């Protein structure tokens, strides 16, 4: 456990050395800020005509949606670069288990995303001040737990794919392709199939978050789905590192 | 401390090392000599737990490198040939990170101690990426020494260092080698000679010779070769030297110097010197010529190498 923390801490610090991480943070926070301003403005206009209060879940949804495209950039070099630079040899000859290395990398990325997510908590707080009698905090908690679970799954899969490649751009595009498929495409044929559509919907990266958690309903199936993907990603990474040893 | 038996490693169809067996005791510095691609790095990577062997067994610091890899890795300090380092980290932070992974108590003071040992204390706050090759090499060495390992495995530890640093690093290795086990690879014979207690010569994945450097040299050439240089014209110097009994293979070089050999164990240099002076020459130089690794290799690998 201690090794996982040591590796995660280094990786977290390292994000603040890399321009890429700032770009990713900016690419999340800037659209979120603009979007927030817009929904506040539109609701204020509509409130005049008796429209509804602004939804805090719009922010978390956009965050997760942007992560589909941006999280591959955060994970692409985590292990591929170690292999390319040869520093993997350092890690693999240090008294660190392969899964500790992979999990440490994932935790470092998680900590970075959690820091960015923490900043976005300002939006529900601002919103709360403008809405009477205040916003539904249970909904906010549910959507942020959902956000953390989706990010956890995405970053774990990204780390797993990064362990397979030596080239970070290969890792980036494969991760992006996978997320694109899991988010947009896997659920598409669900309505066309006579049976089994539920399974496809269950496998979609977006369903559990967009339809349930971001609407205030934590489902066991959803939690299990994201945690399974996290485990799958970390397992893939560990296996890929072990295969590297044997080659 | 290190016990290797029947170690074999295949990369696909290519056999990198074949049935390697050797051992190294505590307090011993063992040199691994061989040309590029001989299997030195492969062997070291197996001993450090980086990768498992295809066959055979290796016990390092009392633990099996495959079955108890983590225990081995705790007790081994390793400087890889390529000296991989996190270029975007500060020297001190990097060593502290590696120390944390090894659960070193009071890691800050130990890092300073090790930085002092390798002479990099004044660069502790600098980025690794900005260091010269020799300094990076020393950061790598500091990392290998950090946890006071029982076994130190160094792949080409002095490559890229300037002559002053080479002397310092060799002294450092010598000091460590008194109490611990050091296995180092090199392709410089003189380095092996003045650093190692014992040398393993490896070629094409097999050990072709194993002995102390002195014995190896003596066994291989059975003779010592000496060069003589005098002031001024020396047309008949060769004849003068030939008068000394026991001298063989006297050859005059283009620049007038003369080389000769005598059977090892019976130093003929004083006799030659007396004869040269007696014949009225001003003796400038009388120097033994060491045998280079290349020469030893040509000997050991026989016809195969001569064909090249």
ipTM for the assembly: 0.90
Closest partner residue to A87 among B49, B52, B84, by Cβ?
B84
At the topology level, CATH places domain B2-211 in Rossmann fold (3.40.50)
Q: Residue B82's closest chain A neighbor by CA?
A: A86
Verify whether the Cβ–Cβ distance B97 to A87 is below 8 Å. no
Percent of chain A with pLDDT over 90: 67
- State the pLDDT confidence band at A33, using cuts at 50, 70 and 90: very high
From A13, A14, A93, residue closest to B49, measured CB to CB: A93
Token pair of B226 as six digits: 């000496």
Q: Quickly count: other Cβ atoms within 10 Å of residue B260's Cβ.
A: 23
The Cα of B59 is separated from the nearest Cα of chain A by a number of Å equal to 15
As given in the structure block, the two tokens for residue B202 are 């490896």
Distance of CA A205 to the CA centre of its chain: 10
Q: Domain limits of chain B?
A: 2-211, 221-294
What digits encode the pLDDT tens for the residues A131-153? 877 788 899 999 999 999 999 99
**Chain-chain contact of A92 with B49 (C-beta, under 8 angstroms):** yes
Q: Do A85 and B84 touch (CB under 8 A)?
A: yes
Nearest to B77 by CA among B119, B126, B120, B114: B114
Asked if residue A234 has pLDDT above 60, the reply is yes
Tens of pLDDT along chain B (308 residues) come to 899 999 999 988 888 899 999 989 888 999 988 877 888 899 999 999 999 999 999 999 999 999 999 999 999 999 998 899 999 999 999 999 999 999 999 999 999 999 998 889 999 999 999 998 888 999 999 999 999 999 999 998 888 788 888 888 888 899 888 889 999 998 777 788 778 888 888 888 888 888 777 676 666 655 667 777 777 777 777 777 777 777 777 777 777 777 777 776 677 778 778 877 887 778 788 777 766 555 666 666 654 544 44
Measured between beta carbons, the chain A residues lying within 8 angstroms of B84 are 85-90
Cα–Cα–Cα angle for A109, A113, A119, rounded to 5 degrees = 150
A94 contact residues in B (CB cutoff 8 A) = 73, 98, 101-102
Domain B221-294 has CATH 3.30.420.40: no
Q: Which tens digits make up the pLDDT trace of A47-100?
A: 777 767 788 888 999 999 999 999 999 999 999 999 999 999 999 999 999 999
> For residues A191 and A195, what is the distance between their CA atoms, to the nearest angstrom?
9
């Amino acid at each position: 456990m201690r090794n996982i923390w040591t590796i995660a801490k280094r990786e977290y610090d390292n994000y603040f050395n890399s321009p890429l991480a700032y770009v990713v943070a900016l690419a999340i926070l800037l659209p979120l800020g603009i979007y927030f301003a817009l929904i506040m403005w539109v609701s204020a206009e509509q409130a005049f005509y008796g429209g509804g209060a602004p939804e805090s879940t719009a922010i978390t949804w956009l965050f997760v949606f942007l992560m589909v495209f941006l999280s591959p950039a955060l994970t692409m070099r985590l292990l591929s670069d170690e292999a390319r630079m040869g520093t993997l040899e350092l890690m693999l000859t240090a008294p660190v288990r392969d899964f500790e290395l992979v999990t440490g990398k994932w935790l470092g990325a998680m900590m970075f995303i959690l820091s960015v997510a923490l900043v976005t908590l300002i939006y529900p707080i601002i919103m709360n001040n403008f809405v009477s009698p205040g916003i539904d905090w249970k909904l906010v908690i549910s959507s942020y737990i959902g956000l953390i679970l989706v990010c956890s799954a995405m970053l774990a899969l990204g780390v797993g794919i990064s362990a397979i490649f030596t080239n970070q751009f290969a890792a980036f595009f494969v991760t992006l392709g996978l997320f694109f498929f899991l988010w947009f495409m896997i659920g598409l044929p669900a309505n066309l199939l006579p049976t089994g559509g539920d399974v496809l919907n269950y496998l979609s990266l977006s369903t559990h978050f967009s339809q349930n958690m971001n609407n205030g309903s934590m489902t066991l199936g959803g939690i299990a789905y994201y945690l399974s993907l996290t485990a799958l990603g970390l397992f893939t990474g560990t296996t890929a590192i072990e295969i590297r040893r044997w080659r | 401390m290190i016990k290797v038996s029947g170690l074999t490693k295949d990369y696909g169809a290519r056999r990198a090392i074949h049935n390697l067996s050797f051992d190294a005791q505590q307090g011993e510095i063992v040199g691994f000599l061989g040309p590029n691609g001989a299997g030195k790095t492969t062997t070291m990577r197996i001993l450090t737990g980086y990768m498992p062997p295809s066959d055979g067994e290796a016990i390092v610091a009392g633990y099996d490198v495959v079955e108890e890899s983590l225990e081995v890795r705790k007790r081994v300090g390793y400087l890889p040939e390529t000296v991989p380092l996190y270029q975007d980290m500060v020297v001190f932070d990097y060593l502290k990170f590696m120390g944390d992974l090894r659960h070193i108590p009071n890691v800050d003071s130990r890092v300073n101690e090790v930085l002092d040992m390798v002479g990099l204390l004044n660069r502790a706050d600098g980025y690794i990426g900005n260091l010269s090759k020799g300094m990076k090499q020393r950061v790598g060495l500091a990392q290998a020494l950090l946890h006071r390992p029982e076994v130190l495995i160094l792949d080409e530890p002095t490559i890229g260092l300037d002559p002053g640093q080479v002397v310092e690093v060799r002294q450092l290795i010598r000091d460590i080698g008194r109490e611990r086990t050091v296995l180092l690879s090199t392709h410089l014979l003189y380095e092996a000679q003045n650093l190692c207690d014992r040398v393993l010569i490896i070629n094409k994945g097999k050990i072709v010779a194993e002995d102390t450097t002195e014995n190896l040299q003596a066994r291989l050439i059975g003779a010592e070769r000496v060069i003589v240089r005098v002031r001024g014209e020396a047309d008949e110097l060769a004849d003068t030297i030939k008068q000394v009994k026991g001298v063989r293979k006297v050859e005059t070089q283009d620049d007038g110097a003369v080389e000769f050999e005598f059977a090892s164990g019976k130093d003929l240099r004083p006799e030659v010197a007396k004869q040269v002076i007696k014949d009225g020459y001003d003796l400038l130089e009388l120097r033994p010529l060491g045998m280079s690794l290349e020469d030893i290799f040509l000997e050991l690998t026989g016809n195969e190498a001569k064909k090249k």
